[in-house]
Amino acid sequence: MEAEELLSHAVEARNSAYAPYSKFLVGAALLAKNGEVFTGCNIENASYGLTNCAERTAVFNAVSKGVKEFTAIAIAVPGGGSPCGACRQVLNEFNPTMKVWLGDENGQLKSETSVDALLPDAFGPENLAE
Ligand code: THU
């Protein structure tokens, strides 16, 4: 699947965002190895620190459905933007070489990178192996 197509799923996922505090609507779409797409949106909370970003929602959505192999994620952020550190760590858990397609709220692709470029020298599952 091309970046623009996956990004269109991320743009659509913004419609479900729960962001009454920041009013900053973010959507993410994860492409699984089996071709399935799993989306997520940001979900804020009155206890602000408990906010869950769109990227992590997408990962938790997929994993809760039994899917753990991903090849790419597209993220629709107003004005364009890049995943926060917590989301980079969660994405790294499942595939450090995952492509990351960054776009804006209109589905305009802004840049293409990868999880390992965004989080070099990451701590991952291999560090816990004996
Ligand atoms: N947010 C995301 O969902 N993903 C990002 O990549 C950046 C930030 C959310 C968290 C919060 O609900 C709002 O955007 C403002 O930070």
CA 19 to ligand 1 centroid distance, Å: 9
**130 pLDDT exceeds 80?**
no
Question: Average per-residue pLDDT in the chain?
Answer: 97
The predicted pLDDT at position 95 comes to: 98
pLDDT at position 86: 98
Q: 126: which 2 tokens? A: 């291999």
Please give the pLDDT value at position 28: 98
Residues contacting residue 22 through CB under 8 Å, at least 6 positions apart: 44
| pLDDT digits 0-9 by tens, 16-70 | 999 999 999 999 999 999 999 999 999 999 999 999 999 999 999 999 999 999 9
Give me 85's structure tokens. 């550190």
- Active-site residues, by number, are 55
8 Å CB contact between 27 and 13: yes
Do 14 and 41 touch, CB atoms closer than 8 A?
yes
Binding site membership of 28 for ligand 1 (Cβ less than 6 Å): no
Band of residue 129 on the pLDDT scale cut at 50, 70, 90: confident
What is the arrangement of strands in the sheet containing 27-32, beginning at the earlier edge strand? 37-41, 27-32, 70-76, 99-103, 109-114
